[in-house]
A and B are shown apart, each in its own frame.
Chain A
Amino acid sequence: MKNSIRFQGLAAFAVIIAIFSVLWFFFVDGVVKNLIEKYGSRAVGAKVELDAADLTLFPAGLRLIHLQVTDPHAPMKNAVEISRISFGLEPLELLRRKVIIKEMTMDGIQLGTDRKTSGALKKKKRRAKAEEAMKQGKRSHTVAGPCGNVNIPSLTMPDVKEILTKENLHSLDLIQSLGKDVRNTKATWQDALSKLPDEKHFEKYRARIAKLTEAKKGGITDLVGSASELGVLQKDIQRDLNNLKNAQKSLGSETASLRTRLAEAKRAPLQDVARLKQKYSLSPAGLKNLSKGLLGSRLCRLVQKADDWYMKLQPMIERRRMKKGEKEVLKPIRGKGVNVRFKERNPLPDFLIRKANARVVLSIGEISGLLRNITPDQDILGHPLTYIFTGKNLKGMKSIDLHGAFDRMVPAEPKDTMNLVLEGYRVNDMVLSENETFPLLLHQALADIKLDALRTGDDLKATLSCGFGSARLSGNTSTSGTPFKKALLSSLSSISAFHVQADIRGTLQDYAIDLSSDLDRAFADAVGSAVKKQSAVFEEKLQAAVMNRVENPLQTTGKNVTGLNLINKELTDRLNVGNTLLGNLKGLTKKGGLKLPF
């Protein structure tokens, strides 16, 4: 027994444990700092930096000093900067591998602060490629756009020549196609005419009639022969006349069809003019959506940015899970294997911040916030994450109230709400539109903003309502330009109050933003007459240019259609000759010329 035990080993074991404890004591703060920076950066997609971390055992707690989270879309800015975060941990739960924070305090939260150095992450080539590919995929979704494809109408007189070089004239196509058909028809009929009985052909009948007349003067034998020849001759002439009549009938119907098409071709240029006018000219109806064109892109960017951050928040409020039989299996953030969860006597999530107090320092003043139940396992806790941020008597704002909840108590049926009310928000020099055609600047206004957003499952429903009073708008551009650009600019000075409403509907992956504003009515009233005048001038020019294009081919086609009349006349002449011959033949039998003796 004595041989099997090494008592010095006890001392060695104690020394090893002591060494580890000392190392932990000296280096744990650095390890915690590095872990926060590493995993924070990975989650955000930009640098997360921490000045210092201080882990204490008695009482168990952690203090973080100066946390900076870079805005991934603007690496020279911090999305959030927090001066101090401190919280206490529940030690017994920590031994059970659960991080339960009873109360957390976040002091000096600042948003959008400048950085001294770029917070962009150095990406590995392969990862950068994959991200670029992902962005491309996403871009195709956003360009087609949650805001649709409403463009701001052009505020300058469109160049007619330029329009006609890039636009296809349907009327010209129609006329050219008709001209080709008319030429083909004409050629076909000229060919047909040469095959139909003509003057030469009828001359032969005349000769045969003359021969019959001679026979009348001859004997009985000649008379019998002539009677039979007369019948044959009548039949021959009648057959030719029938052929000519059928041909004339057919020509008539073809000519009628071509005439109908010619009439259509004559109307087509005007239809082209109307179509192009609607496309290129600014009409009072076109002004109906001017505000959407002006304000839409800015709003879209804001919504997409909010969407990005919302997606980044998801891992904090919902954990990825998979089921293995009846057991719930959790995918650990790091490490090998999977963790299987069993029923707990007092169920608690692996990570939970029961209460977090936040003090947000903005240029307008301080906003205090309270968040409850921050955990990725709300189904275990049985409570949703709720938040409320309030501020009163701020600089340039009467009050702000933001509250809502992220409800993942039933993970398959997420329900998130957000309600924001800003009262008496003083707007100064806000760029409403960066559109090159008509940049719009809101110099000053008092705004009341209300946002109600609800996500149920995949469905998204949000309404943003902004009322602006005591407003002073300007076009932020020179007053030179078209009359109605001038009119639009001058109308801005008379607008002192307006309302903008955005309705966001759809699913998280595919939503549409519908923006409406009473600015449209103000714009329409202001520039209505100028628009009408310019529209009339544009129409006149466009009509002249289109007619100039189609005039020659139309005239040529018209002449060719008329040319078919000559063929018809020729057929009529031939019919007349044939009828005369047939008449003469009948005269020969009626007026006692050719009577049979029995």
Chain B
Amino acid sequence: MLRLIAKLLKVLNSETEPKQISLAFCLSMVLGLTPLYSLHNILVLFLVLFLRANLSAFILGWAFFSGLAFLLDPLFHRLGIWLLTLTFLEGFWTSLYNTTLFRMEKFYNSIVMGSLFFSAVLFVPLFIGSNLGIRRYRDHVLTWIEKSRVMNVIKASKLYHVYQTISGLRGAS
């Protein structure tokens, strides 16, 4: 756990572009919240590797969102059923249902639909939000923290020791 938190801090404090970290979070949200063996997750994997998303942030985000998915599954189920049974969308779903690619995607499953819709809706807001958050963190919080007494205490703690160890290892490699 300490290592994970340390890794997160390391990512946030690194020179990595904020948008790379944000993109990684957003893609990890899709992978984590939707059932793993879904067709769209191949696309997610491709985008993570191709779009220079931060891999550490992606893996951390995946672990976090997978845990969250367990709690949100009932909500996804209800959301999915609601969407799939909307009368005005029936024609649209029916045409997708008759397409091999979308049938492989299994969009007609309540949890696939619910979780995919949920993560798609949150994708852009999360991207913008986390982008802003990381920038502000680096500009204000990080500087302030560096100078604060609390940080001095943290620097003396085990957590900081772990963080430094990882940083050292990274630096060495």
Contact = CB atoms under 8 A, between A and B. Distances in A.
A344 B98 CA distance: 6
Contacts of A92: 100
12 contacts: A5-B50, A5-B51, A13-B46, A17-B42, A96-B103, A97-B106, A337-B114, A339-B106, A340-B81, A341-B108, A342-B108, A344-B98
A332 B106 CA distance: 12
A26 B141 CA distance: 52
Interface in A327-377: 327, 329, 332, 335-345
Contacts of A325: 85
A16 B45 contact: yes
B100 A96 contact: yes
Interface string A469-504: 000000000000000000000000000000000000
Interface string B74-102: 00110011001100001001100110100
B85 A10 contact: no
Interface residue tally on A, bucketed by range:
20 to 34
Nearest to B103: A96
Contacts of A339: 106, 108-110
B50 A96 contact: no
A198 B103 CA distance: 114
B49 A12 contact: yes
Nearest to B112: A337
Interface residue tally on B, bucketed by range:
20 to 34
Contact of B49 (A9, A329, A341): A9
A9 B109 CA distance: 31
A95 B104 contact: yes
A342 B93 contact: yes
A4 B85 contact: no
A324 interface: yes
Given A4-B51, A96-B104, A337 B80 contact: yes
Contacts of A327: 84-85
B171 to A, nearest CB: 22
Given A337-B109, A339-B109, A342-B108, A3 B94 contact: no
A195 interface: no
B111 interface: yes
Given A6-B52, A341-B108, 7 more contacts: A9-B49, A10-B50, A13-B49, A335-B109, A337-B114, A338-B109, A344-B97
Given A327-B84, A342-B93, A345-B98, A336 B51 contact: no
Contact of B52 (A4, A16, A343): A4
Nearest to B51: A4
Contacts of A326: 85
B94 A342 contact: yes
A7 B104 CA distance: 28
A357 B132 CA distance: 66
B51 A9 contact: yes
A338 B90 contact: no
